Amino acid sequence: MNHCAVSVAKDFCGLKQAALELLEEERSAPERERLERLALAAANSNEILEAIKGNRSLAEGYYARVGYLMELESFLGMGLRLSFDLDMAELRGMQSVAAARAEFDRGHPPCKGCGVRLENEWDKTCNDCQRAAAAQASVS
């Protein structure tokens, strides 16, 4: 059994992985909520709920740290002038979050029609926009 202890704030690979998982969680949230609603009325609701549960692979502290780094990132993105210095763990942690975001953006480009995140990096538009475009084409 592995008894090592990892300082979460300095495990930048782990933070990147946690950030990616959180971004994926956020992207799939509407679908998960839809399935949860369906599960309420289904006979096998427990099985459905079990199957759609989040898929976090790391210790909980990683997600809390990423939450803080994302919030800090959003404050800095507002162009605030800070009267204090960020420490190295915060700066490198934010780099990990930025790297995760870039990877997420590559893997899930926004739909050219409505901006929703797409399933695959080669997709151009979402199913709803494709259906709307097809309906419009058949009318005209």
* Nearest CB to another protein, comparing residues 81 and 106: 81
As measured in angstroms, the least distance from the Cβ of 30 to another protein is 19
* Nearest CB to another protein, comparing residues 90 and 123: 90
With CB under 8 A as the rule, give the number of residues binding another protein: 36
Q: Which of helix, strand or coil describes residue 120?
A: coil
Binding segment for another protein among 28-36, 61-69, 97-105, 111-119 (CB under 8 A)? 61-69
- Give the separation between CA 117 and CA 24, rounded to whole angstroms: 10
Query: Is residue 73 a contact residue for another protein (CB under 8 A)?
Result: no
Query: Is residue 79 a contact residue for another protein (CB under 8 A)?
Result: no
- Give the separation between CA 3 and CA 87, rounded to whole angstroms: 28
How far from chain centre, in Å, is Cα 22?
A: 4
CB 19 within 8 Å of CB 100 = yes
First to last CA, the chain: 67
Backbone torsions φ then ψ of 117, nearest 5 degrees = -70, 130
Binding site for another protein (CB under 8 A): 1-9, 11, 14, 50, 53-54, 56-62, 64-65, 67-68, 71-72, 75, 80, 82-84, 86-87, 89-90
